[in-house]
Amino acid sequence: MNIILLEKQELQGGRVLLTDRRAKHLIKVLQVQPGDSVRMGIIDGPKGRGKVVELCGKYPFQVELAVEFAEEMAEKPSIDLLLALPRPIMLRRIFSQAAALGVGSIIITNAQRVEKSFWNATLLNEEEYRPHLLQGLEQAVDTRMPEVCVYERFKPFVEDVLPDRIKRYSHLLIAHPGSADCLKSVIGERPGRILLAVGPEGGWIDYEIDRFAECGFKSFSMGERILKVDTAVVALHARLSERRESFS
């Protein structure tokens, strides 16, 4: 936890009283004392510093801080993810990793090779996935919460939702093993916003690839190796970020 994140309503007159895992982390891990200063931020808001005013080092842990914010929230990341719903244990890692790497949105939809039982996962509820996003933001010292959108039916999503959404992107990319193109060939100029589609274990079927292609997506391959979805997300984000930087 490299930054302490707060909900806006937790602030009372420039002070905040922490009594949960954040207080325990400050006391047990950071070993703060009155007068110490720590990085703090408002979720979807600015960043700043918090000065420890008072604490209770025994259970139940409590830390009171005086907080000031001077740094604006970072710009929205330039990469959005479109995922075929992965298995829940993998999705937990993706939420945390994607938030740490920096994505603007995580869009989840169905695919032929997605197991139907995955849609019963409680992780698709905001109260379940939000802690994993927060974990990623705490790691990366960020405050901007990624938007999460869930569309259970593929055809209505690709026909009714996607056409309006893709207008905001300069590049629409779909990772697909066996594609003849590489990343360099599908991004020949400095990109603006990117929407990256990553399929399920086993990949997208031909029908799904064709529907994405009709919307303007260009497919590319990372090579011969087949990666797990969570590994692919991290590797692809790194490759896209490196490609963007190559135009600077």
Residues 210 and 87 in one domain: yes
Give long-range contacts, CB 8 A cutoff, 24+ apart: 7-13: 7/42, 7/43, 8/42, 8/43, 8/45, 11/42, 11/67
Residues 106 and 43 in one domain: no
Q: Count how many domains the chain has.
A: 2
Q: Is the pLDDT of residue 206 over 80?
A: yes
Residues 23 and 106 in one domain: no
Residues 18 and 139 in one domain: no
Q: Write out pLDDT tens, residues 138-167.
A: 999 999 999 999 999 999 999 999 999 999
Residues 60 and 120 in one domain: no
Q: How far apart are CA 189 and CA 226, in angstroms?
A: 27
Neighbouring-strand partners of residue 173: 196, 218
- The structure tokens 């697909």 sit at 176
Residues 64 and 103 in one domain: no
Residues 151 and 210 in one domain: yes
Residues 62 and 165 in one domain: no
Identify the domain boundary among 18, 39, 71.
71
- Do 106 and 98 contact (CB within 8 A), yes or no? yes
pLDDT at residue number 34: 95
Which structural domain range is residue 84 located in? 79-245
- Do 142 and 74 contact (CB within 8 A), yes or no? yes
For 9, the token pair is 């309503």
pLDDT band at 180 (very low <50, low <70, confident <90, very high): confident
Q: How far apart are CA 105 and CA 82, in angstroms?
A: 8
Question: pTM (2 decimals)?
Answer: 0.92
Identify the domain boundary among 35, 51, 71.
71
Residues 157 and 91 in one domain: yes
Residues 61 and 109 in one domain: no
H helices of 189-247, where? 206-214, 229-245
Query: For residue 122, with 0-12 CB atoms within 10 Å meaning exposed, 13-18 middle and 19 or more buried, which class applies?
Result: exposed
Residue 180 — left, alpha, or beta (φ > 0 → left; ψ -120 to 50 → alpha)?
alpha
Q: Write out pLDDT tens, residues 10-45.
A: 999 899 999 999 999 999 999 999 999 999 999 999
Residues 38 and 147 in one domain: no
